[in-house]
Structure 1
Amino acid sequence: MLSQLGHVMVNFVDSVVVGHIGKVPLAAVGVGVSTTSVLLVLGVGLSMGSVPLVAAADGRRDFPELGRLLVASVWTNALAGLVLAGLGQLVPYLLPWLGQPAEVVVLAGPWVQVISLSLFPLMVFQGFREFAEGLGLTRQAMWLSILGNVLNGVLCYALVYGAWGAPEMGMMGSAWATLFARTLMAVFMGAYVLRAKRLRAERAAVTSWLPEGTTVRRVVDLGAPIGVQMALEVGAFATSLLMAGWLGVTTEAAHKVAIDVASMTYMAASGIAAAATIRVGNLRGAGNLLAARQAGFAAYWLTFGFMGVMAVLLIATRHAVPYIYISDPLVVEQAATLLLVAALFQVSDGLQVVGLGALRGLEDVKVPSVVALLAYWAVALPLGYFLGFKMGMGAPGVWTGLLVGLTIVAVVLLLRFLRETRPEYAAALPVAGEHATA
């Protein structure tokens, strides 16, 4: 949970530091984060393709396969990082066409170009991280995420405000701080995997540091649908921010505050989902489908309890939390309203992400991608547009559409997990290491 939170804590720190400059820079960071987050989660989802494969191979104690997966994971993610960083350089040219306020677009473009460069070291970090986490080694990524966020926070404050002798760069300082912090995280995560005594057997099984095509294809076959599913979900939330921008800078800034808070609780639940992927995949690889089913249920109940508590906290603190970001009373008022809607979808949001994690452990990734496409883009966004603009509800209407979409995904994925882990379906499940189909 803590290492997953690392991804959004970077955005949280950037938003808090930049938000005190004013609502226009805060809105600009919001647009930048929303547009680049689609690329980020596409890459993170791709990196997750190695986790169930590593977990299953570890369950079988198949060291030659683990050696091939280590090489494939690092190469696949590094190359994907280069592509994503390059695509990110093109995003600023699209911003003027998204209907955002002109003053926001001017500030967001350069910020996006720098933050996109950090996608390469982030993906290198993910390549090493997901291999280690597939083996159940999660603490290392946690500590590096904490270190990276502390470093990012210090550098962000120094570069934005020109503190401690650093140059005063305004909101651009937050982007450069993130690039430096993610680079350091990649270096240390790689050093751990390539030097730790705990992984000596896995490294010894590596026969070549050039990737094997078959293994790379298996990682991509699993990772690409995960990345697409995550991009569809985050893309829906990014589109909701753009819709908020059509309502003005104040609404866009309020949306940015609320989505930051909701993202933190979501990523905490995503940590439980990642644990579900590892445990379900490992137990399935060991041939124990009943225990894999129980591991999935444990993740569901943990998430239900955690997100229920988060919902209550959001309701109780919705008028105070926005002041962490900004003191503009109009932004705070609108953000408090959106946080109330966010509280209502906490449980649905948590259960849908843990359902995705449990199904990934079964190497079941294609059907969840289709479910996400239909729920978010055929139901949530059209409904949100109708409620927000045709019915005059504004941003709360847009968020109500997201609530409906998240609930649909949560229910469908729970039913699918129950179906795919029935004892009578055990024989029909693909052999561990093979890609599952619908």
Structure 2
Amino acid sequence: MRQLNTFKLNIKNYTSEFRTNIKLAWPVILGMLGHTFVGLIDNIMVGQLGTAQLAAVSLGNSFIFIAMSIGIGFSTAITPLVAEADAENDAVKAKSSLKHGVFLCTVLGITVFLLTILAKPLMYLMDQPSEVVELAIPYLDLVAFSLVPLIIFQGYKQFADGLSMTRYPMYATLIANIVNVVLNYILIFGKFGFPQMGIIGAALGTLVSRFVMWFYLWWLLRGNEKSKELVTKIKLFVLDGKMIKKILSLGFPSALQMFFEVAIFTSAIWLSGVLGKNPQAANQIALNLASMTFMVAMGMSVAAMVRVGNQKGLQSFKELRRIAFSIFLLTIFFEIVFATFFLLFHEYLPQIYVDMNDVDNYIDNREVISIASKLLIAAAIFQISDGIQVVVLGALRGMQDVLIPTVITFISYWMIGFPVSYFLGKSNAYGSFGIWLGLLAGLTAAAILLFLRFNYMTNKLIKSNYGTT
């Protein structure tokens, strides 16, 4: 009985933080889910045009995801710096983190846009279906330009997250998503007198919505008493070399971390394309569904980054560890629910993406559903490892520990995961399912190794802190 009471007491040390964790994370989760839901709507709308169009969007977005991962990963350097400054009540440091972060995000946004455009010819060298490539290239031109406002938005978003003002990015994302859905409907299908533009219409909707998202978030922050002075009267080109170096030292490894993860999922798109347009379309469906549950883990990762960053600023390392473990535990609960959901409905979920009444494409659509339903079984299995790796990574970023985690992500995804995907994903092996077994292997390795790193670092900080007191 005493052991049971002790267990309950120990668990309560973590569950008592659940409300605070959810309060901080839910606006991030809702905003990200809204953004992913628009991706779902995009795919459903484009899927009505045919499997080739759906595969083309998948191929075009595979380039965008890589560029986006670099920008979003880099921008996460702003959050722990602002969270630390917020805990220290240092407004000058917080404003400097924003100014230098947005400047670097702007430069990076323009750079990845240009690099994405220059990378277009690679599509012809990747053994992808020619029909898909021809459709993907004009789509990519417009969506690539939308990376500029998106990455600048990310700079402001990470700043707001660092101040624990996670609702504002959520509002901006939801407004932009509404704009995107409306424009997609009008432009893809040619409603209200507009020409029917197909997937080009989807690209235009994305471009406009990302400009709306950026300006609306800045407007919200400008109207808040806490953040108004921090986001106005900024001399963007009066820069401090030390702060630039600090953000680069955190942002570059963080960008690589996200790049390594997103790139392996992108490789799954390309490997699926080698198998044909139907496996590629099925991969897009499964990836879109898995991305929706991943957004919950991403929200928890932001909560971990902010709360750990706050405790680092306060030099309270035992609390840092306890709070981080509470977020890890909460994430596991969520991921178990998602895994169960995918297992129960893996045969039904893919059917919402294609028109089974389309007689001309019935055979293709049937094959896409069959492949996607199997991939969702793999997605169900890696839910827990996927959630844990991203939340622990968020906690490590909050501690401003980025170099070793970057090495870990590279080893996990590209020395463990990718070889499994490549060899098991061939047509004479397990095909699409083999590709996703590689994703499972990489995510599981990352979850284990990153957790070991966090455990080591927090124990080390606690011991050193006690040794100096």
TM-score range, shorter chain: over 0.9
For the structure 1 residues 426 and 98, does the alpha-carbon distance in structure 2 shift closer, same or farther, using more than 3 Å as the test?
farther
State the Cα distance separating 1:198 from its structure 2 match: 2.2
Are residues 1:385 and 2:406 paired? no
Residue aligning to 2:61: 33
State the partner residue of 2:101. 73
- Give 1:128-147 correspondences, 5 Å limit: 128-147=156-175
SS of 2:426 mapped into structure 1: helix
**Contact 1:92–1:108 (CA under 8 A) maintained in structure 2:** no
Pairwise CA distance, 1:425: 4.5
Match of 1:2 in 2: 30
Deviation at 1:258, TM superposition (A): 0.4
> What is the percentage of aligned positions where both structures have the same residue?
36
* Paired position in structure 1 for 2:391: 354
| Cα offsets for 1:33-81 (capped at 9, x unmatched) | 1121000011001111111111111111112211211211221111111
Cα pair 1:18 1:26 within 8 Å, conserved:
yes
1:409 match: 446
Counterpart of 1:277?
305
Q: How does 1:94-105 map to 2 (within 5 A)?
A: 94-105=122-133
Q: Does 1:371 align with 2:399?
A: no
What CA deviation, in whole Å up to 9, does each residue of 1:190-240 have, x standing for no partner?
Answer: 222334222145458967763322212211211111111111111011111
Distance in 1, Cα, partners of 2:46 & 2:160: 34
Measure, in 2, the Cα distance between the counterparts of 1:49 and 1:343.
31
The equivalent position to 1:421 in structure 2, one of 437, 458, 461, is 458
Give the whole-Å Cα distance in 2 for the aligned partners of 1:332 and 1:205: 54
Question: Is 2:52 the counterpart of 1:24?
Answer: yes
Q: Is the 8 A contact 2:222 2:232 kept in 1?
A: no
**Counterpart amino acid of residue 374 in structure 2:** T
TM-score, normalization: structure 1? 0.94
CA distance in 1, matches of 2:107, 2:232: 24
Over 3 Å counting, the alpha-carbon distance change for 1:189 and 1:204 in structure 2 is closer
The equivalent residue for 1:169 is 197
Is the Cα contact below 8 Å between 1:2 and 1:145 reproduced in 2?
no
What CA deviation, in whole Å up to 9, does each residue of 1:97-151 have, x standing for no partner? 1110000000011111110110011112111111111010000101111111111
Question: 2 CA distance for matches of 1:280 and 1:223?
Answer: 17
CA offset digits 1:263-290 (Å, max 9, x no partner):
1111221110011000000111111111
Match of 1:43 among 71, 92, 99: 71
**1:203 and 1:254 mapped to 2: Cα distance?**
43
Residue in 2 that maps onto 1:290: 318
SS in 2 for 1:164: coil
Q: Which amino acid aligns with 2:416?
A: V
Q: Does the 8 Å contact 1:66/1:205 carry over to 2?
A: no
What is aligned with 2:275?
247
Q: How many angstroms does 1:183 deviate by?
A: 0.3
**2:299 pairs with 1:262:** no
354-363 vs 390-399, greater mean Cα deviation: 390-399
Equivalent pair of 1:383/1:401 in contact (CA under 8 Å): yes
Distance change in 2, residues 1:7/1:80 (3 Å):
farther
Higher Cα radius of gyration: 2
Deviation string 1:332-371 (CA, Å, 9 cap, x unpaired) is 1110010111111011100000010011011011111111
Paired amino acid for 1:350: G
1: distance between equivalents of 2:463 and 2:102?
32
Give the whole-Å Cα distance in 2 for the aligned partners of 1:203 and 1:143: 18
Number of paired residues?
A: 429
1:435 is matched with none
Amino acid at match of 1:52: P
Query: Aligned AA for 1:120?
Result: V
2:153 aligns with: 125
Query: Any unmatched runs of 5+ in structure 1?
Result: 430-438
Q: In the alignment, does 2:268 pair up with 1:231?
A: no
Cα distance in 2 for partners of 1:261, 1:204 equals 39
- Tell me which residue corresponds to 1:436: none
